[in-house]
Amino acid sequence: MAHTYYTPELGSKDEQAEVVELLCSVGDTFAEGDELMVLTTDKAAFSLEATDSGKVERLFVHSGDKVSSGAALLEYSQVP
């Protein structure tokens, strides 16, 4: 079953974050707490951290993309 990570709430509905760096690729596995990508807003830079273990199945963004709150970032399958 596929799961998706989304852009967290950024503050205002018009605020966007830029994907600064992807730290994973399709096919990569990750563990809870691993950093998956770095995003930045006008106010702060932050990492998207995995909340469980998984395998990246699909990336919806590339470095340099601008995303809004709730935008799909990556799809993954859970792994034991």
SS3 readout for 8-75: CCCCCCCCEEEEEEECCCCCCEECCCCEEEEEECCCCEEEEECCCCEEEEEECCCCCCEEECCCEEEE
CA distance 59 to 22: 9
CA distance 77 to 31: 12
CA distance 29 to 46: 21
What's the whole-model pTM score?
Answer: 0.89
Mean pLDDT by 10 residues, the chain (80 residues): 92 87 97 97 93 97 96 93
Domains, the chain, in order of start with CATH, read 2-78 (2.40.50.100)
